[in-house]
Structure 1
Amino acid sequence: MKIYHNPRCRKSREGLQILEESGKDFQVIKYLVEVPSKEELKSILEKLDYKPAELVRKTEKVWKENYKGKNLSDDELIEAMLTYPKLIERPIVVTSVKAVVGRPPEKIKELF
């Protein structure tokens, strides 16, 4: 199990706490530092059963300044998230077969 985590985000910290309390083995990936590869991001989207647009944080300043109002393809949205990983919704917890966005953080428990 992996958690894509931003330590500065309260929801992400709450999600991490849920995992720590679960007793499950997991890996913490600080995705702003260790940006996922394109293949990894596509795999996460597939496990979430999300379109790229559903994973984008549209309230981020970088989204509003560079992308808002543009008709972007899925590939362009993925590239935007890889270029600006802050645009990736958080936290994301991934198993070998499924993933959830921890909003609310309790959703993470669906993976146990």
Structure 2
Amino acid sequence: MTRITLLHNPRCSKSRQALALLEERGVEVAVRRYLDEPLDEAELRALIDRLEGGVERLVRTKEAEWKALAADASDPEQVIGALLAHPRIMERPIADDGQRAVIGRPPEDILALLA
């Protein structure tokens, strides 16, 4: 079975639910607390390439930090710059199997990686 990296915020209930869903299915999960260990530019670019659903889904656009930037969520360069400066505005959880990445909103969406 493929190992899945979960970009995780333990304070987020959706992120905790996603982790539980994976663990219940016996999936090998590498948890990365992205607030403690933020993604670098190369990792963000690679994640965007694997992300299902478009780059705009990667940003929590209702957060004050995002609004203050007045950035375009459909522009990968602006999203990358914003996430490098403000990792907290990255949507979570994100499950990544190295080939595809899925945002767990709702948490059950991450199960697509197991199909």
Question: Under a length normalisation based on structure 2, what TM-score does the superposition of the two structures give?
Answer: 0.87
Higher relative contact order (CA 8 A, sep 6+): 1
d(CA) in 1 for partners of 2:48 and 2:72?
Answer: 19
Identity of aligned residues (%): 39
Give the partner amino acid of 1:111.
L
d(CA) in 1 for partners of 2:45 and 2:31?
Answer: 19
Q: How does 1:75-90 map to 2 (within 5 A)?
A: 75-90=77-92
How far does the alpha carbon of each residue in 1:75-106 deviate from its partner, in whole angstroms, 9 at most, with x for none?
12201111101111100000021110000000
Q: Which runs of 5+ in 1 are unaligned?
A: none
Q: Are the equivalent residues in 2 in contact too, given 1:5–1:91 (CA < 8 A)?
A: yes
Q: Are the equivalent residues in 1 in contact too, given 2:15–2:104 (CA < 8 A)?
A: yes
1:14 to 2:36 alignment: no
Query: SS where residue 106 of structure 1 aligns?
Result: helix
Query: SS where residue 17 of structure 1 aligns?
Result: helix
d(CA) in 1 for partners of 2:42 and 2:53?
Answer: 15
d(CA) in 1 for partners of 2:63 and 2:91?
Answer: 10
Give the root-mean-square deviation of aligned CA atoms.
1.6
Structure 2 residue aligned with 1:54: 57
Question: Under a length normalisation based on structure 1, what TM-score does the superposition of the two structures give?
Answer: 0.89
Pick one of 28, 45, 62 that aligns with 1:25. 28
Query: SS where residue 97 of structure 1 aligns?
Result: coil
Q: Which runs of 5+ in 2 are unaligned?
A: none
Hey, which bits of structure 1, 4+ residues long, moved more than 3 A?
A: 49-52, 70-73
How far does the alpha carbon of each residue in 1:36-77 deviate from its partner, in whole angstroms, 9 at most, with x for none?
11111111111114543331101112112x223x45742122
Relative to 1, partners in 2 of residues 1:22 and 1:4: Cα closer, same or farther, differing over 3 Å? same
1:111 to 2:113 alignment: yes
Structure 1 residue aligned with 2:43: 40
